[in-house]
C-alpha cells in the first residue's frame, strides 16, 4: 500500500519526538493551504481539539505493513461479530488506535466506543480499555484508504512546519463505520495526541 511507508515515517517521527510537550496548539489551517485535496470547507486540518475520555472495547493486533488494510478489516469484522453476539451497542464511531511501529509492521487496537463496560468482560484478544484522551490535533481525510498516503504526508509536513512534537500514538476515527474493502468514499478523522 502506498500510504504505509509514510505512516511508518509519521509514527517514527512521533516516537523520536519522545512525546515532548507542546506549548500551544497550532491554530487550524484552512483546507487548501497545507491540506491534501479533496477536503471540503469546514474539514479540520490541524485543528486543536480535546479528546474526551471514552470506554472502548477493542481487539489488540499487530500487522505487517504489506497486509495492513486486510489486518484492520479482519480485526473489525471479529470485533463486530463479538459485539453483535453479546448485544453490545456502539456509542460512537469505530477507530483504530496505532500504538507502536517498527520497520516490519505496527501494533494497533481496532476499537469501538461503548457506553459502559459489560458485566462479563471479554477474554482473549478482545478487551475493555480507554481510548486516548486529552489534547490532540485533528486532521480530515476524504476518499479511499489507499489515498491516505497524501493525508499522512500532509500531516507529517504540517507537524514539521509548525515544529509540533506529538505523543507516540495516533487515532483514525471512521465516520460511517469501520473500514470496508472497496470503500472509496471514506471520511476519516486522524487525531494526533499532543502533550
**Distance in angstroms (rounded) separating the CA atoms of residues 92 and 95:** 9
CATH C-level class of 3-22+52-193: alpha beta
Give the model confidence (pLDDT) of 64-112 as tens digits.
988 888 999 999 999 999 999 999 999 999 999 999 888 889 999 999 9
In tens, the pLDDT along 120-148 reads 888 888 999 999 999 999 999 988 887 88
User: β-pairing, 105-113 with 126-130?
Assistant: unpaired
Residue among 78, 80, 106 nearest 93 (CA) = 80
Q: Bridge-partner residues for 14, per DSSP?
A: none
pLDDT of residue 80: 92
pTM of the model: 0.80
> Under a CB-based contact definition with an 8 Å cutoff, are residues 107 and 99 in contact?
yes
Sheet containing strand 186-193, edge to edge, reads 45-51, 134-143, 186-193, 170-175, 94-101, 105-113, 55-64, 126-130
In the predicted structure, residue 49 carries a pLDDT above the cut 90: yes
Amino acid at each position: 500500500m502506498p500510504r504505509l511507508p509514510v505512516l511508518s515515517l509519521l509514527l517514527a517521527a512521533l516516537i523520536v519526538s519522545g512525546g515532548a510537550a507542546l506549548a500551544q496548539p497550532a491554530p487550524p489551517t484552512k483546507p487548501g493551504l497545507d491540506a491534501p485535496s479533496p477536503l471540503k470547507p469546514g474539514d479540520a486540518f490541524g485543528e486543536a481539539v480535546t479528546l474526551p475520555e471514552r470506554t472502548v472495547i477493542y481487539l489488540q493486533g499487530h500487522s505487517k505493513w504489506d497486509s495492513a488494510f486486510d489486518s484492520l478489516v479482519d480485526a473489525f469484522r471479529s470485533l463486530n461479530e463479538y459485539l453483535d453476539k453479546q448485544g453490545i451497542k456502539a456509542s460512537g464511531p469505530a477507530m483504530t488506535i496505532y500504538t507502536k511501529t517498527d520497520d516490519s509492521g505496527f501494533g494497533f487496537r481496532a476499537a469501538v466506543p461503548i457506553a459502559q463496560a459489560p458485566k462479563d468482560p471479554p477474554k482473549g484478544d478482545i478487551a475493555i480499555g480507554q481510548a486516548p484522551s486529552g489534547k490532540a490535533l485533528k486532521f480530515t481525510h476524504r476518499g479511499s484508504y489507499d489515498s491516505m498516503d497524501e493525508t499522512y504526508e500532509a500531516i507529517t509536513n504540517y507537524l514539521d512546519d509548525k515544529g509540533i512534537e506529538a505523543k507516540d500514538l495516533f487515532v483514525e476515527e471512521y465516520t460511517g463505520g469501520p473500514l470496508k474493502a472497496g470503500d472509496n468514499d471514506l471520511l476519516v478523522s486522524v487525531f494526533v495526541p499532543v502533550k
